[in-house]
Structure 1
């Protein structure tokens, strides 16, 4: 079906991309691999990723990997999506900020727990993207200086969000020189709903290298160890919290409540509901 792309470049690299997609599309979107920030102008609420992202009008998706966003937006078989994307190319960022750290930037204290995130756009972020949309009507009048200022604007805007917010943390990661150990990344993400490919990428390893290092460090396969830790956490929460089984499932990093209950029963011989009931007797 239809796939329309309008693009504005800075220093010969994509800065703003405006995609209009009528699903299904014949070819997967080939977004640059660098981090990007997408605003959904129009969408039909369809689930566009296995992570539960929705094609919801007025929301934003910030990701450390543009290719992940491209795959997500290409997944639907029906529907319509219009999105404007800001690309955070590292070379472009270095030029725009003269190799210095942006104002309001602070070093990370711990590894990221999410490499992409979706939320409702704030009023300021909406206003930013609507102003970017106007740029596409006057592309010939845009100088490098104007585009550099516009890139700085969104970086500084996101750096002034709450320091613990995922948007703030991911933007801070773009300018961080700090490296975290393999174990620090794993331990910080044990209870996040990440697949092994994304976890391997966060440790800067191929899947094969990731599995070898993991097995050597934890004396177990990644899937077995991580599932075990999630189940142990769930077991502990069931004895202390009155949250629903579904809430506990998601809190421990499981994606599907039915799968969670099945794995819990295989491990402990009873369902989460039965386990909680036995504790109260």
Structure 2
């Protein structure tokens, strides 16, 4: 499904940890009905508890950890505002660009409007049947209206449809190398075509993106296993490898010994 097709996303799991990482493709609001939710952008860890509400701007890199309680499954609901939805909305509604909101991600304050809104949605999302399309759109509009009412400066982010501009490549990669993204996505987020990204990368780091990413991730994994006593089965996820077997082969090729032997020293 394309990002512009997603309007509501309901998550329910009884697993203790379900870890995922991605680029948030659209502006969104996530409400936590049950459990706990951890969000990491590589430098900051945000921990949300039951009934917490969080806004995330589009094109934000995050790693998510969903944590169910001992007695109840993890449950959350995300309202998604695609560019297509917002473009159509702002064609009919004026923007308020005074006192612009600069924080791209922040926890929304508890408010009666939010409590009533997500309380009214809970029976629908727990049904087995799909929610009618017209109701989904109505709820999107209602959520957007509440968000703009409580945070007027948010229009500065919501009404910006520009492609990301060219940014400092070295700083961005040093902050975000742990995220397992295709090079095309790294290029887009730094405001470059793939060919320009690869050319600029070579000038700055004097190696290819693939080799640099692998080496940086392995160095971090070595530190996490040796100094933090993290298991290889946990470390490979933390540093951005797709699977344990690939990580194990790359680790041995880089350091000359298996990752698990560090813990036995």
What is the TM-score of this pair, normalised by structure 1?
0.51
Q: 2:144 aligned with 1:151, yes or no?
A: yes
In the alignment, which residue of structure 1 is the partner of 2:134? Answer: 136
Q: In structure 2, list runs of 5 or more residues that go unmatched.
A: 13-19, 23-32, 35-55, 60-77, 106-113, 126-130
**Are residues 242 and 226 of structure 1, via their aligned partners in 2, closer, same or farther at CA, if it must alter by over 3 Å?**
same
For the aligned residue pairs, the C-alpha RMSD in angstroms reads: 4.8
CA contact (8 A) 2:21 2:179 kept: no
CA contact (8 A) 1:264 1:272 kept: yes
Q: CA deviation at 1:88?
A: 3.4
In the alignment, which residue of structure 2 is the partner of 1:5? Answer: none
CA contact (8 A) 1:107 1:172 kept: no
Query: Which of 22, 29, 39 does residue 9 from structure 2 map onto?
Result: 39
The whole-number CA distance in structure 2 between the counterparts of 1:223 and 1:30 is 27
In the alignment, which residue of structure 2 is the partner of 1:106? Answer: 102
The whole-number CA distance in structure 1 between the counterparts of 2:117 and 2:190 is 30
Structure 1 segment 125-204 matched on structure 2, within 5 A: 127=119, 133=131, 136=134, 149-153=142-146, 174=158, 180-204=167-191
Q: CA deviation at 1:41?
A: 8.7
In the alignment, which residue of structure 1 is the partner of 2:199? Answer: 212
**Are residues 272 and 135 of structure 1, via their aligned partners in 2, closer, same or farther at CA, if it must alter by over 3 Å?**
closer
Aligned length: 193
Q: Residue 199 of structure 2: SS of its match in structure 1?
A: helix
**Are residues 153 and 138 of structure 1, via their aligned partners in 2, closer, same or farther at CA, if it must alter by over 3 Å?**
closer
Q: CA deviation at 1:276?
A: 3.0
Q: CA deviation at 1:274?
A: 1.4
Q: Residue 9 of structure 2: SS of its match in structure 1?
A: strand
Q: Residue 204 of structure 1: SS of its match in structure 2?
A: coil
The whole-number CA distance in structure 1 between the counterparts of 2:145 and 2:92 is 7
Query: Which of 82, 87, 110 does residue 82 from structure 2 map onto?
Result: 87
Q: CA deviation at 1:98?
A: 3.3
Q: CA deviation at 1:270?
A: 0.7
What is the TM-score of this pair, normalised by structure 2?
0.53
The whole-number CA distance in structure 2 between the counterparts of 1:264 and 1:272 is 6
Q: CA deviation at 1:204?
A: 2.1
Q: CA deviation at 1:30?
A: 5.8
**Are residues 223 and 183 of structure 1, via their aligned partners in 2, closer, same or farther at CA, if it must alter by over 3 Å?**
same
Q: In structure 1, list runs of 5 or more residues that go unmatched.
A: 1-28, 43-49, 53-57, 66-82, 113-121, 160-167
CA contact (8 A) 2:231 2:260 kept: no
In the alignment, which residue of structure 2 is the partner of 1:252? Answer: 239
Q: Residue 220 of structure 1: SS of its match in structure 2?
A: coil
CA contact (8 A) 1:215 1:221 kept: yes
